[in-house]
Amino acid sequence: MTDLNLKLVIATARCYNTVFSRIEKNVQEYGLNISEFGVLEMLLHKGEQPVQKIAEKILVTSGTITYVLDKLQKKDLIYRKKCDKDKRIFYISLTPKGEELISDAFTKHKKFLDELFQGLDDNIKNDIVNNMFTLVDTVGN
């Protein structure tokens, strides 16, 4: 590993840890963890979803998604509904309480992200996004 590659790994790890530490603290203000917030945010923007699709999109295992959904259901933020055509499939929807919580939380979360990244102009943000996706595509193959 060259020194530059080592620096790239360290910078990427530090960036991830710093950003997600701040995001995690912000999300906890709503009584949620990152996974719970991700599920609610997905349901807010995509509507009712099958469990498997939620697990894929928020990058958790099937075991973890069951745990997260159980917690959200106990908080009365989501409900499960069996598929009429395939009884093995469950769809997840927001309850009115869940929709109210995530609508408010997401609006505030967007403002938080605006403040978090206010020191970067849009050109730099676009460069970072494009370069990170290039990195993911390169390393992922």
Residue 58 has pLDDT above 60, yes or no: yes
Residue 141: per-residue pLDDT: 64
pLDDT at position 1, please? 57
Opening angle at CA 70, ends 72 and 93, nearest 5: 55
Question: What ranges do the domains of the chain cover?
Answer: 1-30, 33-100
How many Cα atoms sit within 13 Å of 133 on the Cβ side?
A: 5
Helix H or strand E segment including 80: strand 78-82
Lowest pLDDT segment from 32-46, 48-62, 87-101: 48-62
Angle among Cα 112, 17, 130 to the nearest 5 degrees reads 75
H-run or E-run covering 90: strand 90-94
pLDDT interval class at 136 (50, 70, 90): confident
Residue 83 has pLDDT above 80, yes or no: no
Kindly indicate whether the domain formed by 33-100 is annotated with CATH number 1.10.10.10: yes
What pTM was estimated for this model as a whole? Answer: 0.86
